Structure 1
């Protein structure tokens, strides 16, 4: 078991369907007070350490770009408690909620058109590894190169485990064949170098 493996079950995951949307929820307790977490979530120089470089106008109504990933708009920004942005499309909304000492809830709302409702398998594992890097940034154990760590075999094993945890949240929400297909596609994206079961 790698050092990363011990973290896969410290996150809580859930998926629910409401109307035409799937709501993908990742909850993680973080080792820092809300102000410190908020700084890591909203200051471009800190975001780039654990996530990706971000540029643009990071105020309500402002547009931003996440390098090599997505564009969006800041919808709500309530310091130390709530950040809501569009992410990649106007109806793809990411909400970050901070509470307690300190719990981060990340909810990504995606259209059911995304992979026949299996959106959790397309967005969940990516957020999973990103939130792990945020935790490690906050506790001072972030790898020097998070991208290389994510692409390492240990990083891919973590992501593969996360894929299966996300698949569990979809059981009963989508057809078994669609779920199996989405798991295969998600594993190919997030853990491309790991062997697949025959």
Structure 2
């Protein structure tokens, strides 16, 4: 695996506001470049067989208007599918998740050297107490781990199952530094320094629990 710091530096992170059917939402934005053709990246994020190699097994009716379910994770409806540039899905955890409360959009743009610019926007309405407690790192660290897995996969490296990788020393270091990077993005968006510091600590404890 490339150096943790290199992987972290490859991603640009932003915190902003968005809208979903349920109303105003927080939005985390991640951008990075992949040394792969746009069609290859598109297939890696939309093919059920390839998704299972670097992310999670997925089932469902994987077409526009269909539904999907990631094993042990989110599910929802495929809202927009415009190969190979735009994918938008609802992103809901469990049957009790409020409809229209969370959406993920991925935009791909071909680069000048056969590479691909990748942008992911996750907009979600969150409980009033949740954001001050965890900040953008609550979802941002998870997406950093996902984009790392995609980078490794596109380079032809072995990608462990997320549950195995996330407990490794490399992943613990990556998640710790990712939480801090999302804290910096939160500060850049005008976050209160004391609240940001608290949310970074809480997010780090969540993703990097004490092994004992």
TM over 0.5: yes
Shift, 1:116, TM fit? 3.0
Aligned counterparts of 1:18 and 1:69: Cα–Cα separation in 2: 22
Among 175, 186, 190, the residue aligned to 1:170: 186
- Structure 1 segment 27-106 matched on structure 2, within 5 A: 27-88=31-92, 89=97, 90-101=100-111, 102-106=116-120
Aligned counterparts of 2:65 and 2:202: Cα–Cα separation in 1: 35
CA deviation map 1:119-172 (0-9, x unaligned): 521100000011011011011113344532222111111111111111111115
Answer yes or no: is the 8 Å Cα contact 1:14–1:25 preserved in 2.
yes
Indicate how the Cα distance of structure 1 residues 169 and 162 shifts in structure 2: closer, same or farther if over 3 A, else same: same
Runs of 4+ in 1 over 4 A off after TM superposition: none
Indicate how the Cα distance of structure 1 residues 130 and 18 shifts in structure 2: closer, same or farther if over 3 A, else same: closer
TM-score by length of 1: 0.89
Answer yes or no: is the 8 Å Cα contact 1:4–1:158 preserved in 2.
yes
Shift, 1:83, TM fit? 0.2
Aligned counterparts of 1:139 and 1:37: Cα–Cα separation in 2: 11
Secondary structure in 2 aligned to 1:107? Answer: strand
CA deviation map 1:53-87 (0-9, x unaligned): 11001111111111001111100000110000011
Aligned counterparts of 1:145 and 1:24: Cα–Cα separation in 2: 24
Indicate how the Cα distance of structure 1 residues 14 and 3 shifts in structure 2: closer, same or farther if over 3 A, else same: same
Moved more, 116-125 or 157-166: 116-125
Q: Which runs of 5+ in 1 are unaligned?
A: none
Q: Which runs of 5+ in 2 are unaligned?
A: none
Q: Does 2:14 correspond to 1:14?
A: yes
Secondary structure in 2 aligned to 1:170? Answer: helix
Answer yes or no: is the 8 Å Cα contact 1:153–1:193 preserved in 2.
no
Secondary structure in 1 aligned to 2:141? Answer: helix
Shift, 1:180, TM fit? 2.7
Q: Does 2:205 correspond to 1:191?
A: no
What's the counterpart of residue 136 of structure 1? 152
Secondary structure in 2 aligned to 1:151? Answer: coil
Answer yes or no: is the 8 Å Cα contact 1:74–1:84 preserved in 2.
yes
Q: CA RMSD in A?
A: 2.3
Aligned counterparts of 2:136 and 2:42: Cα–Cα separation in 1: 25
Aligned length: 195
